Amino acid sequence: MSQGMRLDGKIALVTGASSGLGWRFAEVLAQAGAAVALAARSTDKLEQLKCEIEAAGGRACAVKMDVTAVASVRAAVLAAESALGGIDILVNNSGVNKQQRAIEVEEADYDYVTDTNCKGAFFVAQAVGRSMIARKCPGRIINIASVAGLRVLAQLSTYCMSKAAVVQMSKALAHEWGRYGINVNAVCPGYIETGINRDYWQTEGGKKLINMLPRRRVGEPEDLDGLLLLLASEQSGFINGAVITADDGLAVG
């Protein structure tokens, strides 16, 4: 790992850190030298990750955060900063999905997706951005959007809408907060295999989808490591308001 990609002395917050990409993001940031605040609705799994990071010589804390509740978001950010110090890096990762046809979407389904992916992402970014501005501390905010925010995926209307909102949010915050030295960027992953969806890729439907992908494969969480470290590091000083796909060519297919 090059010296420019090290994060020694930095404090990071990762939301949705109890599984999948969030877990991996937290591990990678810790390995690069950052102290990491791990946030999720349930802290049971976070404690396991915290122990693993500390066993490897890193620093971490676990904070309970429900991104759909603004009071919970603000309390968790305060708790993270009390435990580790002012946040320098936010990986705004929490997200949910529900696959269904548009005509089947009920209000509760809509709220379930948008409250987490859109409202939650905004208020987490706001809480961390406020802190950075108050402390006059330049920082990095990395919003995890999706290729679904750039192109339509079948039977995912509310998810596509919510991730498109995250893309536009990232641009708006980059424009507004750039003057404070806060870089805000969006990462749009394509299909990534995690524990949540691993079984699906072995089904007939999953295999059929893989055969429709540009290189007939799905990604692994580690395929995002380099991009994450770049956007979190000082090397990304001139990258602000960018929307970067990491989808193996899906968005242009």
Task: Out of 110, 112, 159, 180, pick the active-site residue.
Answer: 159
Alpha-carbon dihedral of residues 10, 16, 17, 23, nearest 10 degrees?
Answer: -110
Residue 40 DSSP class: E
Check: CB of residue 147 under 8 Å from CB of residue 197: no
Those residues whose C-beta lies under 8 Å from the C-beta of residue 22, and which sit 6 or more positions away, are 14, 15, 16, 40, 91, 93, 94
Measured distance CA(119)–CA(123) in Å, rounded = 6
CA neighbor of 245 nearest in space, from 149, 177, 181:
149
Backbone φ and ψ for 231, nearest 5 degrees, come out as -70, -25
Measured distance CA(184)–CA(203) in Å, rounded = 37
Q: Which residue has the tokens 């420019």?
A: 4
- Percentage helix, strand, coil, to 5, in the chain? 50, 15, 30
159 is catalytic: yes
Angle among Cα 99, 100, 104 to the nearest 5 degrees reads 150
Measured distance CA(136)–CA(28) in Å, rounded = 26
Measured distance CA(189)–CA(210) in Å, rounded = 15
Please identify every residue annotated as catalytic: 159
